[in-house]
Amino acid sequence: MRPSGFSGTLLLLLLLPATLAFKASDFKTCSESGFCRRGRALASRAQESGTSWNSPYSIEPSSLSLAPHQAAFTADVKSSIYPSVKFNLDVRIHEDGGVRVRMDEVDGLRKRYDQAAQWALLEEPSIHRDIRWTVGKANAKAVYGPKKDIEVVVNFNPLKVTLFQGGKEQVVLNGRGLLHMEHFRTKEVSQPEEHIEAEGQTVLQVDPAVWFEGDSQDAWWEETFSSWTDSKPKGPESLSLDITFPNHAHVYGIPQHATDLSLPSTSGPDARYTDPFRLYNADVFEYLADSPVSLYGSIPLMHAHSPQSTVAVFNALASETWIDIAHTDKKGVETHWISESGILDVFLLPGPTPEDVFAQYARLTGTAPLPAHWALAYHQCRWNYVSSDDVRGVQKRFDEEDFPVDVFWLDIEYAEDHKYFMWNKKTFPDPVEMTKDVEAIERKMVVIVDPHLKRANDYPVYKRASDLGILVKPKSGEGEYEGWCWPGSSSWIDFFHPGSWDFWTSLFKTKSIDEQWSWTESTDNVGIWNDMNEPSVFNGPEITMPKDNVHYDGWEHRDVHNINGMLFANHTYQASAARTDPPRRPFVLTRAFYAGSQRFGAMWTGDNLGTWEHMAVGIKMVLANGLGGMPFAGSDVGGFFGNPEPEMLVRWYVVGAFSPFFRAHAHIDTKRREPYLLDEPYKSIVRDILRLRYSMLPVWYTAFRETSANGMPILRPQYMMFPKDVAGFGIDDQYYIGSSGLLVKPVTEKGAKETSIYIAEDQVRLLRLLHPPRLPRLL
């Protein structure tokens, strides 16, 4: 390790090709979530039992069926505690060497949700035709790869799947015996304890499943949180799975969380947190800067890295999921994934290099498209620019003060009564002319369109959606779900309903077709901002939609929650592209996301605070999103809440200038903080930072082109660039821009006069320090 002290923000050329605080009571902890309690209790029983613990799941060898001319097989799986319940296992090796493991209940009382991968995947992966499985009495195995050093072994009893590389275990599924697919069952009326007579003694009849499942039907059929009751008509259906990386000491990914890039432990003696990491898209107000709490998006992808190899696991589930992480004494990592519903559908990405893993994941879920050049420039936003004159005035000041800017944004107050698409003509009497004034000098407008629709028959968007029957339904499956959001009483379009897709596309047409209402008071170049799409419901449990709401085809919201936001952004992206023929590159910003969301635009880190801590953790979050396959990311410059002091604001502009998505944004209660309002020397410093961003647009555009081709992150953490340098594996406050060789180390501490950078032992030593010329005045 070679720390070097430099002033300002470091950019190194290495010659390489306000109001309320976070309310924890609004959101569940694991102990308040029935299926998470059950999953953790299962892990505790396993740990207490030690070596005597065995998984009840096994493969019936005689049922194994090899696919002809393909590297795939299916087999029956049975459970020793429920012999009458049947499961099916499907294992296949893809053409690029990835392994997919699926398990589902067969002929159950109900059907488990099995469509999460369908929404995430770019297409169904092709199965390898030249690899052959060898089936023995105890296992089935396949050896493949250019060096024949990759091996997949599926043990029959107990069921276990292991991926080897060079003879070493890379990933193990169910090695700790925590696999449990709660089967569908009927709700039974409580019966008195059954006793039998045995040689004159009364003996309590013991349920054979107790040793594994426990003796409590904890939250099987109903669950209460705060004032809300979640009915569970299908009963318990959670899925538990342990995934172990025996030879990898660092794991990364599973965004979105405000935490370190190298994920800390949540269980075991070195646990930083008492709760597991949670994946459950939520509208978290003023989130904590160091927490496993779920945030706005969920990507169930985890990377594991060691000096010898990199592997990853994509666990295609759309329901609420909790993930315990434990770093073992043997320099490995044990993880335990607990999901509320869904099937087992796991993709093992064998690597062995970081580049290989990103390519394998990109082949599954796609890459971020190359955006329009203007989308990489500086975006100016606040809640809200209040009128057409306000927008024109802000643009004029930017020009008068010689500040580069390419995009102006409008938040929810442009819309009359928060009826999106409908302009408030008192404040925006000339929306098309205003937009064209911005576009006249090659700038763009972005306008917000949220997913909630005001329930008003004079609102044509709601009226037509209601008439088409494409709105989310309450738990009864009849009528329309009614919740509360910005407009007041609201309903939500069900984007799982195929009938919603053409409807949504039609709204964005700037010329009315077939006399159907469309957004004629817009232009073809307007970008779209999709906020609140977790979905956020102000009067709902955990500020979201009840889990027993009903979507298309009868699926409960609990089954599809984490996909909901992706579908909204997806169809907004498609609608934007369909505005012109040929289509132009759309710009869509989304707050909620899932695996595959990278195909539909950018994201930001949500409602951050104007604090030094949030500035610093925002860098880690953007890096984690890149590892999750969603690289077009950034945090609100200056923080959404609060009034940052000039030093902090300047430092945050530097962070933004070296982020893929560069936008300043602020809450309605904050003071105006457009950069031209700063006093000197801060105003000139920010002007230079913006100019530096614009001078580097070719670097950014090249990095975006690379990620669109190969899935590599735009911002690359230290371990990716130097994968054998152990000391760099935990570094998350400096990073590289694409393959440019540019190393960035933002300063995120108040009053800092110098900072340190980490240089790997095998790193090229030719360094050049760059910073905006006026930046030293700040110090």
E-assigned strand segments in 383-465: 407-410, 444-448, 452-454
Active-site hit among 334, 356, 406, 531: 531
Can you tell me the distance from the alpha carbon of 565 to that of 298, in angstroms, rounded to the nearest whole number?
10
Residue from 389, 490, 479 nearest 438 by CA = 389
Place of tokens 């020397």: 681
Query: Residues of 64-97 as b/e, b for ≥16 C-beta within 10 angstroms?
Result: beeeeebbbbebbbbbebbeebbbbbbbbbbeeb
Query: Does 400 participate in catalysis according to the annotation?
Result: no
Phi-psi category of residue 634: left, alpha or beta, with phi > 0 → left and psi -120 to 50 → alpha: beta
Query: Residues of 179-189 as b/e, b for ≥16 C-beta within 10 angstroms?
Result: bbbbbbbeeee
Going by the DSSP 8-state scheme, the letter that residue 645 receives in this structure is -
**What's the burial of 322, exposed, middle or buried (CB within 10 Å: 0-12/13-18/19+)?**
buried
Distances (CA, A) of 706 to 359, 369, 715: 12, 10, 11
The type of residue at 276 is: P
Are the beta carbons of 237 and 340 closer than 8 angstroms?
yes
Query: Does 105 participate in catalysis according to the annotation?
Result: no
Residue from 283, 720, 355, 317 nearest 538 by CA = 283
Are the beta carbons of 118 and 102 closer than 8 angstroms?
no
Phi, psi of 410 (to 5 degrees): -120, 125
Residue from 697, 737, 700 nearest 717 by CA = 737
Which secondary structure element, helix H or strand E, spans residue 691, and what is its range? helix 682-695
Active-site hit among 534, 706, 732, 733: 534
Query: Does 761 participate in catalysis according to the annotation?
Result: no
The type of residue at 7 is: S
Active-site hit among 242, 607, 725, 732: 607
So which residues are the catalytic ones?
531, 534, 607
